[in-house]
Structure 1
């Protein structure tokens, strides 16, 4: 199935004939990416991870990411009981971290502020509302995109001095998409006409670090806990639905303490050293669960390219204090037998060309258009007679793809983020000097055992790390510089422990869609056709996909058809003392003129 419906394609062709424009070619003069300066953002300070310190914070941020060819213009703001309410325009291809600082204490209930935006050159408008309530999560943000037909969503700040983010992509011609909720599971197939002719090294996709560690299963006796060892909140199936197409899986076999020859199954692991005498960590999903989840997703969403890099590939005793058990040919063959149960494997791919140098359509068209699940082995298969791959089964050595996998090994986002940005900005995309490798950006921090146990890997991900991707990461990209994989912990998780599908948020999903549709498409060495967001007559979704203009509340409750007057957080009255963006201060209360 192609992205654009037949009627839209016919309309596009008709317009081209009428207008006389028949050269569907990318031109430098069509570029809309802005080099305007945007204010520097702020990383969450380390001490705010302490829940007591974070609870007392009065400073927060609202990040807006613009992956459209239109400037996002701030029309007006007003705020009440705010020391800072600093919002501004968001240029094309850029992100702005807007600052909010409450005047009152943590429990104040009458603070409020609103920012009103329009998409320049269109009739589309939206509003951002910051509001305090009583209860355990008093300070919230509402993204009200009902004026764009994209609904509303209420968020709780995940911690003190941290951010919530809104990502918008698309165009007035193409249609808009925002990060309030996930789009179709097969987002690649929906963009086949955009990305099909691109090389794999010219794609951008989300990835999940320690992907199978979505739970703790205790198949080894060690001290790894949810706090310091679990890296994801949802399983492989939901990670796929949340947009991930690159999976970091670390797999080992488990053996009884008294019988190294007996294999009690293959499990995802996360340990400090898989080859160490003592392995500290734990196990997550079983390989059988991973395979079942892959097959469920690909049956529902054919046509995607999904990479699984598989590390470790050694055995450990149930009490992992005697070093690794290296796999022999028998164990490897048992492992390969398991992998053969994965549907849509791609057998006997052309290995004379690095996979990163094939067109995306080469993989998406495999299995009669059902796409490709590609397994890349990167473990310790070093013994004599041990097979390292089996192309006839669709199992390949990682060396079949030239990969730059840069790990910053930093404990704090303020140190990790510029290191990652420096790495991908060293590699230009397109032209004679095009970077030839496939680049992984490990957008994650590495806290020590004490810090991760005290504050949890989850809090490190959702408070300082993932939110910084949407200002520091985005502003470190341009049409010539970006990584292929944005590898994260706790994909989609916006609130601690809220892992149900209806509680996830779609920032990284929408970022990936926008990076492919907009950012890479403005590079005429990567995208040879006219940028898709500038084409007439084409739409972002197929005709059968119904529009949605509902509301998602902070507790996950969804109203698909809310009353037109329902706008959470909207202030009916602007109170005496309200400050407008131009500095005017109200001396008496008045009805909100923007209602």
Structure 2
């Protein structure tokens, strides 16, 4: 008996020792406090002036480092560039690198390359800039991560003085990942072991604003069009695949102009005021489409948790000039009948605990591990009908203690600092932030004239979204971060390019990297050693290795020839300038090939 007791004590001691070794410790922290140079927002003078925007010669490449390794600049060279400013990216930080082409009317052959190394590893990558003419569409950047076995991606810039972004996460022990492309849709299930014990308030979730407005369907007759009313370029299914887990859905019933009792269907809407006598806006996806897309995604990607915040919940005539139609019992029951068609809803959750305080596993393990689709109802327009249906998985919005911060600012250089100042006041850790579930609305809000003239898409892809990857990231650390980062036009990098292989994947990998790396370095949130400084657990592995090329038009080459590197400069001409300021006086082969 004593032998068995001794063995038990030894095993217990060994277990404690392992736990102590695996515990999160402040001395293991790698997140850097080093500041990178301040970045630049796209100027309004460039954005709003078609001629200046088309012929602009200055651009940016933002690199986000969500790894425990410093990303070190090894060398650069440039030919006929007025500015070629690149530098190191410390751990957890981002850097907006600047290039300025030599502006000439004639055909040109400006080029430059920046070579990087992941410190402490043999992994390398290059950023290759090329210019073949004086307009924006003749200037491109190739993100060449073939030296990391992560492929290559060619981007054109979305506008003058705008940014292309690259997000890198993972580690030498865990494996590296980058925003060259999306991986499989179920990112939360991949990192289940990292996030399962964290309460929802200790997660970072990508989100979409006016999520159902991925198209204009004209179910109401108003002046809303794709320029001033459409907020997304891809539907709910693709938004889920692109990483979003928080959705802003505004649902309304549309009624026959001559018969208020005749409901023509439930649709997503985007209007200026859903209760006004005359409302301005339009309709997007139908509720039936949304439900079908949710079910397709959850069937393909079991084990995720996703929140759908439902607003409006009111009726409007086809011509919305006679005020709202408040839902009666029949309309409520019709709506409820539709919602019952959503698979993996989570009825009868414990409402005595605010949802932000439940661990992620509480939701992810529901429905036999298939995950949770959670509907949160803003019931301010629900009068004589219930404001939730717990037995059907519809909950009042106040079941989660959130703060939804909308800047309501037209210019990105005002919106971004306002959002950052707001979420930098958060303090994450322990039990002291029970009520802090914070939504950051990272989007500009142009007035009717500006949005109709330039389009919400242009404001998103040229101004707001690129700024997130240098300005927004600079405001986040292991202590403060928002729970939801809500954007317009998730994944869209070039105007009207919404095919899957034309989409960018920065938001997808920002979500993964924030949870894997940044939040994991807060020992008041994460009790275990960061997964990125341990060997990768097998179930967390991503998709199969890929080292192909995605071209700017969306063409994919899965197995390119080894010598194919778009934008690569094989010959360095006389006049080429190196990082140390040396200028070539004779033409030579590129020694970095």
Partner of 1:328 in structure 2? 328
Task: Select between 224-233 and 126-135 the one with higher mean Cα deviation.
Answer: 126-135
Seen in structure 2, the aligned counterparts of structure 1 residues 520 and 20 have a Cα distance that, compared at 3 Å, is: closer
The equivalent residue for 1:439 is 438
CA distance in structure 2 between the aligned counterparts of 1:100 and 1:450, rounded to whole angstroms: 32
Please tell me whether residue 270 in structure 1 is matched to residue 270 in structure 2: yes
Which residue of the partner structure matches residue 555 of structure 1? 553
User: How much does 1:56 deviate?
Assistant: 1.4
Of 135-144 and 110-119, deviating more is 135-144
How many Å apart are 1:536 and its aligned residue? Answer: 2.7
* Partner residue, 2:46: 48
C-alpha displacement of 1:539? 5.5
SS in 1 for 2:349: coil
Partner of 1:359: 359
Q: Deviations over 1:531-587 (max 9, x none)?
A: 0000135368538x4200001111111111101111000001111111111000111
Structure 1 CA distance, aligned partners of 2:471 and 2:95?
A: 9
Counterpart secondary structure, 2:306 = strand
Partner of 2:387: 388
Q: Which position in structure 2 is the counterpart of 1:232?
A: 232
Aligned residue pairs, count: 577
Deviation at 1:105, TM superposition (A): 2.8
Is 2:82–2:100's contact at 8 Å kept on the other side of the alignment? Answer: yes
Match of 2:214, SS state, is coil
Correspondences of 1:200-239 after superposition (within 5 Å): 200-239=200-239
Name the structure 1 match of 2:82.
83
Listed as ranges, the matches of 1:158-197 within 5 Å are 158-197=158-197
Q: CA RMSD in A?
A: 1.5
2:288 is the counterpart of 1:304: no
TM-score, normalised with respect to structure 1: 0.95
State whether structure 2 residue 94 is matched by structure 1 residue 92. no
Choose which of 18, 24, 27 in structure 2 pairs with 1:26: 24
Q: Structure 2 length as normaliser, TM-score?
A: 0.95
Change in Cα spacing, 1:30 to 1:107, as seen in structure 2 (3 Å) is: farther
Q: Determine the structure 2 residue equivalent to 1:523.
A: 522
C-alpha distance after superposition, 1:74-107 (max 9, x if no partner):
0000101111100000000000000011112366
Secondary structure of 1:229's counterpart equals: coil
1:370-429 deviations in Å (ceiling 9; x for gaps): 000000011434423x11111111111111110110000000110000111111111100
Asked if 1 retains the 8 angstrom alpha-carbon contact of 2:175 and 2:536, the reply is no
Residue by residue over 1:468-514, the C-alpha shift from the partner in whole angstroms, topping out at 9 and shown as x without a partner, is 00000000001001001110000000000000111101000000000
Matches of 1:346 and 1:432 in 2, distance apart?
Answer: 26
What are structure 1's unaligned runs of at least 5 residues?
Answer: 1-15
Pick the aligned partner of 1:575 from 570, 573, 581.
573
* 2:191–2:540 CA contact under 8 A, matched in 1: no
CA contact (8 A) 1:517 1:533 kept: yes
Q: Secondary structure at the match of 1:176?
A: strand
Distance change in 2, residues 1:22/1:495 (3 Å): same
1:337-367 CA-to-partner distances (Å, cap 9, x unmatched) read 1000000000100000000000000000000
SS of 2:308 mapped into structure 1: strand
Shift of residue 435 of structure 1? 5.6
Structure 2 contact 169–176 (Cα < 8 Å) conserved:
yes
Asked whether the 8 Å contact 2:255–2:317 carries over to 1, the reply is yes
Distance 2:538 2:363 in 1: 25
Q: Verify the 8 A CA contact 1:155 1:164 in the aligned structure 2.
A: yes
Match in the other structure for 1:564: 562
- Whole-angstrom distance in 1 between the partners of 2:73 and 2:379: 51
CA separation in 1, counterparts of 2:430 and 2:437? 16
